[in-house]
């Protein structure tokens, strides 16, 4: 234990403690009840969060005492166990908010999907680190895809779209390992084209007296960009490599052009008043519905804006608290509203900076690992934190659809705090033992 403490990254551990403590204080502020004024009261969410923090610390110390080889050896067991839990929760789980994703034990709920993120990270890291695995072979890539997509399929049955999006963050890990090449770039291009197709679906332009649908202009623009890229390839690439790149450019351009009418067709197949369609329209600025489906987003933005630069002070929020209940789920999915209203833009910026520092720090730790297992696992955890952080803040600011995803270490929830803490202590353990690990 002495050697572990000697080599542990104090900065990362310090960021973890700061985020957890600030999270508990925010939960205390937003759910404060004069009848249970003690922050340690287990009758309120803040007392329960402290309890889960204590449990997390106990498990964290246990992880630091484990041998790295033990963790690697039983990665398959942990993966199999969490997969079994994902199956069982569909059969005997408790349904909340339309999703069958929890095991209920009295007032306590355990969400297996939170721990599946850890097991998949361990399994992906072990698979890629296996000396017998060649990721150039199609068979190995199929196995790797199965490791990630089996939990995704089971979580979709709950359904829990937010967690599924977190699992897609493993694409970033595969990109770092050079497995998917430029697929990430191509995927981003298709995403941009799809969003533009939806925004412009009912737009017409008058050009020299001709009324032309914006989709035709978008298609022409894509062809023009493809021609320019082709000209660039012709100048910068050796002749023997040009043909393959030309074929790739043509295929990507065709897919992008076909996505334009396809997105409009698929979108219009969704019933006009369906909440998913309305939410997408609100996000893209195609519709306003401040009292209906867009209520959560509207109230969240109101709370953030009311904080101005310095905020209203601790426990002085008038929108993001239980007393007025103007912001739904203000202690869980929308807890950033409490921070922004109480501490203003400055407090929100400091919290934003802490999360960016956390993610950058884990990436730095990943790069200094001597083992492939350690590097891949740390990148997996940084991707999970990034997706959670980006989508949660995006929901509050109206930049992402409201899908119910917690802010790491901040949002109230025993399963999320415990799982995020396990991730953090596994990263700290791998880093503290990096000098003795070479595989």
Using the predicted structure, report yes or no on whether residue 28 has a pLDDT greater than 80. yes
Confidence of residue 270 (pLDDT cuts 50, 70, 90): low
Pick the more confident residue, 207 or 126: 126
Lowest mean pLDDT among 253-257, 295-299, 382-386: 295-299
CA distance 21 to 61: 18
Task: Please write down the long-range contacts of 230-238, taking CB distance under 8 Å and 24 or more positions apart.
Answer: none
Contacts with 15 (C-beta within 8 Å, 6 or more apart), sequence order:
354, 357, 358, 361
Provide the pLDDT for residue 378: 93
Secondary structure of the chain in the HEC alphabet? CHHHHHHCCHHHHHHHHHHHHHHHHHHHHHCCCHHHCCCCCCCCHHHHHHHHHHHHHHHHHHHHHCCHHHHHHCHHHHHHHHHHHHHHHHHHCEEECCEEEEEEECCEEECHHHHHHHHHHHHHHHHHHCCCCCCCCHHHHHHHHHHHHHHHHHHHCCCCHHHHHHHCCHHHHHHHCCCCCCHHHHHHHHHHHHHHHHHCCCCEEEECCEEEEHHHHHHHHHHHHHHHHHHHHHHHCCHHHHHHHHHHHHHHHHHHHHHHHHHHHHHHHCCCCCHHHHHHHHHCCCCCCCCCCCHHHHHHHHHHHHCCCCCCCCCCCCCCCCCCCCCCCCCCCCHHHHHHHHHHHHHHHHHHHHHHHHHHHHHHHHHCCCCHHHHHHHHHHHHHHHHHHHHHHHHHCCCCCCCCCCCCCCCCCHHHHHHHHHHHHHHHHHHHCHHHCCC
Is the predicted pLDDT of residue 2 greater than 80, yes or no?
Answer: no
Per-residue confidence (pLDDT) for residue 117, from 0 to 100: 92
How many CA atoms lie within 13 Å of 133's alpha carbon, on the beta-carbon side?
17
Percent of the chain residues past pLDDT 70, beyond the cut: 83
pLDDT value of residue 71: 87
* Distance of alpha carbon 279 from alpha carbon 401, whole angstroms: 6
Q: Mean pLDDT over residues 149-154, rounded? A: 88
Given a cut of 70, whether residue 431 has pLDDT beyond it is yes
Instruction: For 362-380, write each residue's pLDDT tens digit.
Output: 998 998 888 889 899 999 9
Residues with Cβ < 8 Å from 263, sequence gap 6 or more? 194, 197, 198, 201
Pick the range with the lowest mean pLDDT from 53-67, 188-202, 287-301: 287-301
Report the C-alpha gap between 143 and 128 in whole angstroms.
10
- Position 355 scores a pLDDT of 92
Q: For residue 381, what pLDDT band results from cuts at 50, 70 and 90?
A: very high
Mean per-residue pLDDT for 172-187?
72
Ramachandran angles phi, psi of 202, nearest 5°: -120, 25
CA distance to 130, 340, 390, per residue, from 205 (Å): 56, 41, 35
Binning pLDDT at 50, 70 and 90, where does residue 420 land?
A: very high
Ranges 66-70, 306-310, 424-428: which has the least confidence: 306-310
Distance of alpha carbon 332 from the chain centroid: 15
Cβ(214)–Cβ(200) below 8 Å: yes
In terms of pLDDT, which residue wins out, 305 or 324? 305
Q: What is the pLDDT of residue 134?
A: 66
Output 396 or 422, whichever has higher pLDDT. Answer: 422
| Least-confidence region, from 18-32, 169-183, 424-438 | 169-183
Of 8-12, 93-97, 229-233, which has the strongest mean pLDDT? Answer: 8-12
The string of pLDDT tens digits covering residues 107-151 is: 667 888 889 999 999 999 998 887 666 666 777 778 888 898 899
Predicted confidence (pLDDT) at residue 22 exceeds the cutoff of 90: yes
User: In whole angstroms, how large is the CA radius of gyration of the chain?
Assistant: 24
pLDDT recorded at residue 275: 56
Using omega within 30 degrees of 0 as the cis cutoff, is the peptide bond preceding 214 cis?
Answer: no
Cβ 423 vs Cβ 121: under 8 Å: yes
pLDDT in tens, 321-367: 666 666 666 677 788 888 888 888 898 899 989 999 999 999 989 98
Indicate the range of 124-133, 157-166, 199-208 predicted with least confidence. 199-208
The Cα–Cα gap between 184 and 189 comes to 9
Q: Is the pLDDT of residue 14 over 70?
A: yes
Q: What value does the mean pLDDT of the chain take?
A: 81
Does residue 54 carry a pLDDT above 90? yes
Count other Cβ atoms within 10 Å, centred on residue 290. Answer: 13
| Token digits of residue 63 | 């992880």
Contacts of 426 (CB under 8 A, 6+ apart): 63, 71, 118, 122, 377, 381
Q: What is the mean pLDDT of residues 19-31?
A: 89
Query: Cβ distance 153 to 146 under 8 Å?
Result: no
Compute how many other C-beta atoms are within 10 angstroms of the C-beta atom of residue 268: 11
The pLDDT of residue 183 is above 70: no
pLDDT above 60 (res 290): no
Q: pLDDT tens for residues 69-108?
A: 888 888 999 999 999 999 998 888 787 766 777 787 666 6
Q: Which of 333, 267, 323 is nearest to 297 (CA)?
A: 333
Reply yes or no on whether the pLDDT at 272 is more than 70: no
Residue 156 binned pLDDT confidence (cut-offs 50, 70, 90): confident
């Amino acid at each position: 234990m002495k050697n572990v403490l000697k080599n542990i990254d104090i900065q990362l551990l310090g960021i973890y403690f700061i985020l957890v403590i600030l999270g508990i204080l925010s939960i205390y502020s937003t759910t404060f009840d004069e009848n249970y004024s003690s922050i340690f009261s287990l009758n309120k969410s803040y007392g329960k969060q402290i309890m889960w923090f204590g449990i997390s610390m106990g498990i964290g110390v246990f992880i630091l005492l484990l041998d790295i080889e033990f963790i690697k050896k039983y990665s398959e067991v942990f993966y199999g166990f969490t997969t079994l839990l994902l199956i069982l929760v569909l059969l005997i789980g408790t349904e909340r908010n339309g999703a069958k994703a929890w095991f209920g034990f009295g007032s306590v709920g355990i969400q297996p999907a939170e721990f599946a993120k850890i097991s998949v990270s361990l399994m992906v890291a072990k698979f890629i680190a296996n000396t017998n695995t060649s990721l150039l072979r199609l068979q190995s890539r199929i196995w790797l895809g199965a490791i990630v997509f089996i939990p995704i399929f089971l979580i979709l049955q709950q359904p829990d779209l937010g967690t599924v999006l977190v699992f897609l963050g493993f694409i970033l890990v595969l990109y770092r390992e050079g497995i998917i090449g430029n697929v990430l770039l191509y995927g981003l291009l298709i995403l941009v084209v799809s969003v533009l197709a939806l925004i412009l679906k009912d737009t017409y332009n008058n050009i020299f007296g001709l009324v032309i649908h914006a989709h035709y202009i978008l298609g022409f623009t894509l062809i023009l960009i493809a021609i320019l890229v082709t000209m660039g390839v012709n100048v910068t690439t050796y002749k023997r490599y040009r043909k393959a790149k030309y074929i790739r450019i043509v295929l990507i351009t065709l897919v992008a052009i076909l996505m334009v009418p396809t997105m409009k067709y698929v979108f219009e197949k969704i019933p006009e008043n369906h909440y998913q369609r309305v939410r997408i329209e609100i996000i893209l600025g195609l519709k306003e519905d401040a009292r209906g489906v867009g209520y959560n987003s509207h109230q969240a933005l109101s709370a953030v804006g009311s904080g101005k630069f310095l905020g209203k002070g601790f426990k002085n929020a008038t929108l993001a608290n239980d007393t007025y209940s103007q912001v739904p789920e203000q202690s869980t999915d929308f807890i950033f509203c409490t921070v922004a209203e109480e501490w203003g833009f400055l407090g929100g910026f400091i919290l934003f900076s802490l999360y960016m520092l956390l993610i950058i720090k884990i990436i730095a730790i990943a790069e200094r690992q001597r083992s492939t297992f350690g590097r891949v696992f740390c990148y997996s955890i940084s991707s999970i934190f990034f997706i959670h952080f980006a989508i949660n803040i995006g929901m509050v600011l109206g930049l992402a659809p409201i899908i119910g995803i917690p802010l790491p270490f901040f949002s109230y929830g025993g399963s999320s705090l415990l799982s995020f803490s396990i991730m953090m202590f596994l990263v700290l353990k791998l880093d503290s033992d990096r000098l003795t690990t070479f595989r």
